[in-house]
């Protein structure tokens, strides 16, 4: 969704496996994390160029953009994280860390693995601090519960999920009472003028049976790499073609992989493939010129390109029509996922309770 001049766009990013190549596969790898320096940490290929490109485009287009990070890692590693972001040249407002050591000292081991409650609490706390009318973009991965939490957060802001149903759902997720109380307090204090979620972008890091992202509806866009994510943002006019090329180069994709990624984004625009090709035309040409895309990738039909150009000239175009499935640029709430059905797949605590 194209941001208006002066409008605030808030980007909320998960850190582990979304921005940083963090490994949790073994205890040895996990123990290493607190002792790493900023220079030891590796960013996911393409993510730095994506964030910097969006920042540059926001300045050129005249709208404000803020970046926030949320991490389930303890604040004891914040120095290394901040050093890494400084080395990457990424500007941001704040980082929320999880107080794991505090939970451990107090013997609250159930809070150590709590993801749904922690992230939803931090998101709602952030929503209370941004200006009314802000548009939010949420970035995460499918390793744990980001799709579930981000979608639920978006529906709580829009009214698609009411607080009473949310509290019942949190109990189903086995969210700790402390988090539940904090979340419900945030919801009570949210005024009628609240931010809205314009897009949810999930990086595919873990494919598991029964965990398809399609269940979350058209608001959520999954990407196999950051080129695909950059193309969605390009279609929303939040990243220019130069930014798309920079992401593709940093991701280290060859022309064959980039072509498959391009066509995947087009195919995902259900019923709007020609419109998608029209919106991605500048990116298509830039990628071909850089030798990063098969020159045989088709462009949109001439009538579709002419229609898009005319609508833009008349000020009738809504750049979010591919990303939020709307026709007027507003975030629609007609589709609300069946969260109670999705609990067992996306809440680690609920899965553990089910498998006892």
What does the pLDDT look like over 75-132, one tens digit per residue? 878 899 999 999 999 999 999 998 654 544 454 545 556 689 999 999 999 999 998 8
Secondary structure letter of residue 299 according to DSSP: P
Decide: 9 and 64 in contact? Cβ < 8 Å: yes
Task: Name the region of 353 (left: φ>0; alpha: ψ -120 to 50; beta: rest).
Answer: alpha
Decide: 203 and 44 in contact? Cβ < 8 Å: yes
Give residue-wise pLDDT tens across range 122-147.
999 999 999 888 999 999 999 889 99
Secondary structure letter of residue 155 according to DSSP: H
pLDDT given at position 302? 83
96: β partners = 70
Mean pLDDT of the chain: 85
Decide: 178 and 153 in contact? Cβ < 8 Å: no
Q: 100, 102, 127: which is closest to 114 by C-alpha?
A: 100
CA 151 to CA 294: how far, in whole Å?
35
CA 254 to CA 261: how far, in whole Å?
11
* pTM listed for this prediction: 0.89
The three-state secondary structure class of 13 is strand
The answer to which of 67-81, 182-196, 315-329 has the lowest mean pLDDT is 315-329
9: β partners = 65, 135
């Amino acid at each position: 969704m194209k941001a208006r001049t002066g409008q605030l766009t808030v980007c909320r990013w998960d850190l582990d496996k979304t921005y940083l190549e963090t490994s949790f596969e073994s205890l040895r790898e996990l123990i290493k994390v607190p002792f790493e320096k900023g220079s030891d940490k590796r960013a996911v290929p393409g993510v730095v160029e994506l964030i910097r490109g969006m920042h540059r485009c926001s300045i050129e287009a005249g709208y404000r953009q803020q970046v926030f990070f949320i991490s389930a890692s303890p604040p004891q590693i914040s120095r290394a994280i901040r050093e890494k972001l400084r080395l990457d040249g990424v500007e941001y407002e704040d980082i929320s860390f999880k107080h794991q050591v505090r939970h451990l000292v107090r013997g609250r081991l159930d809070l150590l693995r709590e993801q749904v409650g922690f992230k939803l609490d931090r998101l709602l706390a952030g929503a209370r601090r941004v200006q009314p009318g802000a548009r939010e973009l949420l970035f995460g991965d499918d390793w744990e519960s980001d799709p579930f939490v981000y979608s639920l957060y978006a529906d709580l802001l829009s009214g698609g999920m009411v607080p009473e149903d949310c509290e019942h759902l949190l109990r189903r997720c086995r969210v700790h009472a402390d988090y539940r109380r904090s979340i419900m307090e945030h919801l009570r204090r949210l005024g009628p003028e609240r931010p809205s979620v314009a897009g949810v972008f999930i990086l595919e890091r873990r494919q598991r049976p029964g965990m398809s992202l399609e269940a979350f509806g058209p608001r959520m866009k999954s990407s196999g790499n950051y080129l695909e994510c950059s193309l969605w943002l390009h279609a929303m006019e939040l990243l220019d073609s130069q930014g798309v090329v920079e992401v593709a180069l940093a991701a280290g994709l060859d022309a064959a992989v980039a072509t498959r990624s391009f066509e995947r984004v087009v195919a995902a625009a259900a019923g709007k493939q020609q419109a998608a090709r029209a919106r991605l035309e500048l990116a298509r040409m830039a990628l071909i010129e850089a030798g990063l895309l098969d020159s045989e990738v088709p462009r949109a039909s001439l009538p579709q390109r002419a229609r898009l150009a005319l609508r833009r000239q008349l000020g009738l175009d809504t750049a979010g029509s591919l990303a939020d499935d709307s026709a007027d640029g507003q975030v629609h709430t007609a589709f609300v996922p069946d969260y109670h059905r999705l609990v067992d797949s996306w809440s680690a605590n609920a899965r553990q309770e089910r498998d006892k």
